[in-house]
Amino acid sequence: MEQLPFYSGGLRFSCTRCSACCRYESGYVFLSREDLDILAAALDMAGGDFVKTWCRWVPLGGGTEYLSLKEKLNDDCIFWKDGCTVYRSRPLQCRTFPFWDSVVVSAEAWESAGRGCPGMGRGELRGMAYIEGCLRARASQPPLARKAERPEL
Q: Sketch the domain layout of the chain as residue ranges.
A: 11-147
Whether the per-residue pLDDT at 152 is higher than 50: the answer is yes
Sign of CA dihedral 50, 20, 100, 102: positive
pLDDT, tens digit (0-9, with 9 covering 90-100), for 55-66 = 999 998 889 999
> 106 - beta bridge partners?
none
H or E element in which residue 33 lies: helix 33-42
> 67 - beta bridge partners?
57
pLDDT, tens digit (0-9, with 9 covering 90-100), for 29-55 = 999 999 999 999 999 999 999 999 999
Whether the per-residue pLDDT at 90 is higher than 90: the answer is yes
DSSP 114-146: HTT-TTEEEEEEEPHHHHHHHHHHHHHSPPPEE
Contacts of 5 (CB under 8 A, 6+ apart): 104, 128
pTM for the whole thing?
A: 0.89
